[in-house]
């Protein structure tokens, strides 16, 4: 599985969310996401090229919400 997180490189809330989410995905699902810089305020998650979440800093999810979305793609 290819898990990609695109995130805003300059927003501290997005950076923190990305770090927390990556840690949870590694610990709970055994998946290490690839993290790349995206647009300003962006937080997007893709599983095998399919968008799972496309959000911005105005509507950030909890790391557990990202985990649940990724888990649903893994088991689908």
Domains held by the chain: number: 1
Distance of alpha carbon 31 from alpha carbon 11, whole angstroms: 24
Element (H, E) at 4: strand 3-7
In angstroms, what CA-CA distances link 12 with 2, 28, 39, 45, 56? 25, 24, 14, 18, 13
Domain that holds residue 57: 3-75
The pLDDT tens digits of the residues spanning 15-43 come to 999 999 999 999 999 999 999 999 999 99
**pTM over the 0.85 mark:** yes
For position 62, which CATH number holds? 3.40.30.10
Phi first, then psi: give them for residue 74, nearest 5 degrees. Answer: -70, -40
């Amino acid at each position: 599985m290819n898990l990609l997180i695109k995130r805003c490189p300059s927003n501290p809330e997005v950076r923190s969310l990305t770090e927390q989410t990556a840690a949870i995905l590694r610990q709970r699902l055994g998946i290490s996401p690839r993290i790349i810089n995206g647009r300003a305020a962006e937080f997007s998650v893709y599983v095998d090229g399919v968008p799972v979440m496309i959000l911005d800093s105005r509507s950030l999810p909890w790391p557990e919400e990202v985990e649940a979305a990724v888990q649903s793609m893994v088991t689908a």
